[in-house]
Amino acid sequence: MHRVPHQTKSLADRGLNHICYEIPAHLMRLKHWNTETDGMLTEAAFCEKMQALGYEVSRYVYPPGTYFPDHTHELDKIDAVLSGRFKMTVEGETVILESGDYLFVPKATVHSAEVIGNVPVVSLDAVKVR
């Protein structure tokens, strides 16, 4: 699948539910929870999967209108969405995360995020600890 820079679409808009894939941009890796291999999407199941990969997971609820301007982190991280819509821009590539989507953000990578719509985003924030 080819990504057009600055094009914003969700996985569901692309008809790509329940599969894992990568956007061919050198820094952005977007995946979707696969119910066939990972089971039902729950907070506990996602946390277990990320912890097995060496990530520590925190849960956040962001109200509509929340915006995080360009910033970086000192550790590799994953932003995941359990519910709501979260627009993420990483190094000029933009995607909307929805339920079951998760995005790998390498350390020191400039990115921003914004809650889209009138529904709060329930987000799992995973940081690489080992």
Q: pLDDT tens digit string along 77-125?
A: 999 999 999 999 998 889 999 999 999 999 999 999 999 999 999 999 9
Q: What is the mean pLDDT of residues 45-59?
A: 94
User: The whole model's pTM is what?
Assistant: 0.77
64-70 CB contacts, 8 Å cutoff, 24+ apart: 64/115, 64/117, 64/118, 64/119, 64/120, 65/115, 66/114, 66/115, 66/121, 67/112, 67/113, 67/114, 67/115, 68/112, 68/113, 68/114, 69/112, 70/110, 70/111, 70/112
Comparison of pLDDT for 1 and 25, the residue scoring more:
25
User: Which sequence spans correspond to the domains of the chain?
Assistant: 12-128
CATH architecture label of 12-128: Sandwich (2.60)
Q: What is the mean pLDDT of residues 63-72?
A: 96
